[in-house]
Each structure stands twice: as C-alpha cells, then as structure tokens.
Structure 1
Amino acid sequence: MRILGLDYGSKTVGVAITDPTGLIAQPLVTLKRERESMLRKTLKEIAELAERYQAERIILGLPFNMDDTEGERAEKTRAFRRLLSARVNVPVELMDERLTTMEAREILDESGVPRAEQKRVIDQVAAQLILEAYLHERAMEEAKQPISGKEE
C-alpha cells in the first residue's frame, strides 16, 4: 500500500511517497508553479503521481498556528484539498504539519546539504516528515486495537 504525502505551499508542493509496504516514507519531487493561483497543472501532476504509484491515499499537511488556530494558509490548504479530492479517486486526509519546514531545514543542515541546494529539496523533506508523522500516528492507533479471536 503506497501513500503520497504533500507539503502544499504558495508556489511549490513537496511530494513524498511510501515504499510499497507503506512503512517507509521518502522524498519524491517538488512541483512548482509560477503563481499561487495556478493550480490546474499542479493538481494534474499530483493525480498522475497518485495513479503512477498506485497510491491508496494522500496525506496533505495542514499548517496550524502554534496556538492551535488556523490561519489564511490553512484556509488555502483546505481549499486545495477540496480541489484535489475532486481530481483523485483516493481519500485526501489532513495532517498537522507544524514546524515541518523548520525540521526539514535542520535535517538538511545536519546532513551537510548546502543552503543553496536545500531550496530544491526542502519541500520534499517536509512532505516526508508529514508522511512519517501520519505513519507513526497510524501505527500507534493500530497498536491500541485489541487482537480479535484470541482468548486470554
């Protein structure tokens, strides 16, 4: 089962994907557009990626403010989700993405990636972090489920 992770920004969308087992997230690509409102091509590219990789769901980062409120960026992300959901045949779920870009920058800094090159991959790494958070949350939920059919 493959899952796409998205870090939606004003001019870029970072994309990450799980391995075929759905356990490991890795950066995939950064989709770029000239203006924030030019979404048609971006939506098409994401739909094509979902189909090519046979993704069973898409996880879209939702940027909450640090005080748990939603600002303008969250509103735009929710609108993007509605547009994307109309284009793909898989569920599009939201995942808290607070601080993922900062964490991605720290990872790239620690990995020795020069700042000039970080711009090319930072959104992909942020998408990977969003996807990893989703996978972790899902694993925690599954661990809470009782094992059926087993007597104690």
Structure 2
Amino acid sequence: MRVLGVDFGLKRVGLALSDPGGSMAFPHKTVERTEKGGREALFSEIAGIVASEFVELVVVGWPAPAEGRDSLTARQAANFAASLARRVAVPVKLMDETLSSEEALDDLRAAGLKASKRKAALDQQAAVRILQSYLGAPEAARDVTAQWRPQTP
C-alpha cells in the first residue's frame, strides 16, 4: 500500500512517500505555502500527488494534545487533515508528530547536511519521520472522519 506522509506547516508542507509495499518512507518534496492560490492550490497539488503516485492512504502529522488540552497547532493540523479528506478519494489519518521536527533535524545533522541546506530538507524529513511512525504502528493513527462525524450507536 502506497502511503503519503504530510508534515503540515503554515509556511511549508513537507511530503514523504512510502515504497509501493508500504514498508519504507522516502522524502518526496516540500510545498511552499504562498498567497498565490492559497489553500486551494496546496490541496490541489497534494491531490495531484495522491493520484499520480497511486497513494492509497494519507497520514498527516498532528501534535497530539498534552493532558487533553488542544493547542492551536493541533487544531490547525486536524482542520487541514479534515479539509484534505474532503478533497481526496483515499482515507486520511492523523498521526502523532510530537518531536518529529527535532528528530528530523538530528537526522539531517547526522547525515552531514550543511546548515544552509537543512531548511529545504527539514520538512520532508519530518514527513518521513511521521510516515515511518505510521508504518511502524498503524494502529496508533486516528481516523480523521471519526472526529468530525457523530458516531452512530
């Protein structure tokens, strides 16, 4: 199963793809969020990747709320995932991304990437971390639609 990992950000969105077997994650690209086209352009680009890469599932990084308290960033990531779910024909899940950016930065430093090139690769590497977390423990992901649709008894 091909899976797309998404590191949501207000300035940049990092993307990672799994191999067709769904066992390994690889950096794909970073999408710069600009005023030109706004959210719709971003969603359109991601939907295009879902179609062209034969993605069967999307996993969006989500900073899980600590002690049951929702943060602004957690709400923004969840709203982004819900909006994306309405635009693609595959399931969208939320995966805890706590510390993914810090771990991604450590990965890039360990790989010897110069500081000037880290910024461009950081969001993709964070998406790789999110996707690897999902591939290793898919049961830990939350279904996006379950949050916004009432459960029927």
Q: Which TM bucket (shorter chain)?
A: 0.7 to 0.9
State the shift of 1:38 in Å. Answer: 2.2
CA distance in 2, matches of 1:97, 1:20: 23
Partner residue, 2:85: 85
Q: 4+ residue stretches of structure 1 with deviation over 4 A? A: 65-68
Paired residue for 1:39?
39
Scaled by the length of structure 1, the TM-score of the pair is 0.86
- Unpaired segments of 5 or more residues in structure 1? 141-152
SS at 1:80's partner residue?
helix
Name the CA distance, whole Å, in 2 between partners of 1:27 and 1:69. 31
Q: Percent identity?
A: 35
Q: Considering only aligned residues, what root-mean-square deviation do their CA atoms show, in Å?
A: 1.8
Post-superposition shift, 1:73?
Answer: 0.6
**Structure-to-structure mapping, 1:1-150, within 5 angstroms:** 1-35=1-35, 38-65=38-65, 67=67, 69-138=69-138
CA contact (8 A) 1:65 1:98 kept: no
Q: Rg larger in 1 or in 2? A: 1
* TM-score relative to the length of structure 2: 0.85
Task: Please report how far the alpha carbon of residue 69 of structure 1 lies from its aligned counterpart in structure 2 after TM superposition.
Answer: 3.4
Offset of residue 85 of structure 1: 0.8
Aligned-residue offset at 1:63: 1.3
Total equivalences in the alignment: 139
> Mind listing any 5+ residue stretches in structure 2 that lack a counterpart?
141-153
Partner amino acid, structure 2, of 1:33: R
